[in-house]
């Protein structure tokens, strides 16, 4: 009887340690993508620019189908280097086995540099048509076909107005490892 109780206690202790971290609650990954954006400013400048960017990302599921995350991104577009730090939020709607529709929203800080001048600002992103395929418990692949990003930059600091807006459609591909 003592052996049975000892074995039962050992199994209970091992199982509670195994379930201390639920699989799929956290992930690490990143995306790479193209940007096509129409750039306009209050100064009257404008045009269309294309570029490439990448962003490592970490996320945590806070509830069933709700994810909070953060990414650090870099983009090169028309000679402008842009660095962003953006927390994000997404909802996972299951379409079928392993396939999810994942619309999302991100708001963050941006720093753009061109011709030796760094310009701070904010960024807002809306992922309208994002799908994620999870072929296994630990791996996921995402494709974001339509997203809208708005970047507002302050050209002359806080005292002078000069704000620039970029509106872009950014298709991206992401890889995620869930743990």
Q: Which domains, and CATH codes, for the chain?
A: 22-178 (2.40.160.20)
| Measured distance CA(120)–CA(112) in Å, rounded | 6
> Within 13 Å of residue 84, how many CA atoms lie on the same side as its CB?
29
Rg (CA), the chain: 21
Q: Which of 169, 73, 96, 172 is nearest to 130 (CA)?
A: 172
Q: What is the pLDDT of residue 132?
A: 93
| Measured distance CA(13)–CA(177) in Å, rounded | 27
Mean pLDDT, residues 36-54:
62
3-state secondary structure of 3: helix
Full-model pTM: 0.69
Q: Which two tokens stand for residue 4?
A: 């049975």
Burial classification of residue 137, based on how many CB atoms lie within 10 Å of its CB (0-12 exposed, 13-18 middle, 19 or more buried):
exposed
Q: Is the pLDDT of residue 13 over 80?
A: no
Phi, psi for residue 12 in degrees, rounded to 5: -65, -40
Phi, psi for residue 127 in degrees, rounded to 5: -95, 110
Q: Is the pLDDT of residue 136 over 80?
A: yes
Distances from the Cα of 93 to the Cα of 4, 98, 134, 152, angstroms? 45, 11, 13, 31
| Measured distance CA(155)–CA(121) in Å, rounded | 9
Q: Is the pLDDT of residue 16 over 60?
A: no
Lowest mean pLDDT among 46-50, 104-108, 146-150, 175-179: 46-50
């Amino acid at each position: 009887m003592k052996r049975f109780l000892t074995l039962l206690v050992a199994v209970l202790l091992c199982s509670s340690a195994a379930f201390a971290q639920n699989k799929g609650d956290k992930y690490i990954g990143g995306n790479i993508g193209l940007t096509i954006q129409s750039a306009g400013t209050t100064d009257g400048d404008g045009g269309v620019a294309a570029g490439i960017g990448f962003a490592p990302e970490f996320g945590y599921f806070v509830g069933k189908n709700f994810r909070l995350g953060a990414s650090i991104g870099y983009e090169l577009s028309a000679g402008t280097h842009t660095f962003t730090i953006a927390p994000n939020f997404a909802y996972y709607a299951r379409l079928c086995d392993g396939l999810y529709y994942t619309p999302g929203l991100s708001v963050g800080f941006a720093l753009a540099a061109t011709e030796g001048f760094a310009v701070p600002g904010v960024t807002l992103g809306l992922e309208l048509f994002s799908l994620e395929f999870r072929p296994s418990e630990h791996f996921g692949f995402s494709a974001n076909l339509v997203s809208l990003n708005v970047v507002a930059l302050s050209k002359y600091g806080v005292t002078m107005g000069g704000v620039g807006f970029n509106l872009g459609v950014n298709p991206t591909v992401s890889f995620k490892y869930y743990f």
